[in-house]
Amino acid sequence: MKSVRQPSSSRHTASAHKWKFSGLTDIIRHKKGPFTVYLILRTLVLIALGFSLWRSRYEHAFLCLLSLVLFLMPAFLSENFGIEFPSALEILVLFFIFAAEILGEIGCYYLRFPFWDTMLHTISGFLLAACGFGMVDILNKNPRIKFDLSPAFLSTAAFCFSMTMGVMWEFFECSCDLLLHTDTQKDTILSSISSVTLNPDGENVPVVLDGITSVTVNGQPLGVNGYLDIGLIDTMKDLFVNFVGALVFSIIGFFYVKNRGRGRLAKHLIPTYKETPQES
């Protein structure tokens, strides 16, 4: 039985599935703006990593290492999947990672600035919609895949992608709080609640409690001026601002496609497919 020699094109296709890491820094260097931001933020993260190890805050050290890895994700996707990130989008992603992991978690900005978490979830909804829009638009423009999607469908797909990722993130936060006893879904102090459980007649009619000034658990006051809501308000707020960010970009993307790519803002935020010489 004769052995069949694998064609060179097949060997090339098989080898293309191997992850490429060697050219990541070269890809980053080709973009002056993102590379400058990357160097500055990486230096700050390395300083934070040194302080975390010196203070034996190993959970903070892990976040620093995670940030350094996430900084390379745009270049990694470009190297292995041919996805071209516009410089503006790449800079936003780098700042977002730094603001969420280093400033938010290590710098305690989530506690110092009540708007910090809301701001980040709004931006994430916007950025995820941009990425979702880019993925569908890449398929729509691929001559080998017969798609002819309308601007409304592209915008709807981007919106749904962003909202789905937002929900998946809230699932992750809830799982961490339940299984690892963290507090990613921050508590909210409320002065008024409505509850069916507190109905003295056992009917399915909510009882409204106004002017709540204290909470007692196991006979001990918690020292908060109101009802302690555990995560629900924070989760719904995060999903709502994610909705706002996703909706804003979906509208921008709709007019970008409808006007045949003449929108400046969307052009600098939507990932594209990097054509190889063989494909062009």
pLDDT of the residue at 13: 42
- Tokens in use for 63? 């976040």
- Take residue 274 and report the two structure tokens written for it: 């990097």
Work out the angle between the directed axes of helices 232-258 and 151-179 (0-180°, nearest 10). Answer: 160
* pTM of the complete model: 0.81
Mean pLDDT per 10-residue segment, the chain (280 residues): 44 50 60 87 96 94 95 85 86 95 94 93 95 82 65 91 96 92 87 90 91 86 85 94 96 86 79 61
Q: How far is CA 66 from the centre of its chain?
A: 14
Helix (H), strand (E), coil (C) string for 246-280: HHHHHHHHHHHHHCCCCCHHHHCCCCEECCCCCCC
The pLDDT score that the predictor gives to residue 280 is 46
Given a contact cutoff of 8 angstroms between Cβ atoms, the answer to whether 277 and 144 are in contact is no
Tokens of 253: 């993307």
For residues 231 and 223, the answer to whether their CB atoms sit within 8 Å is no
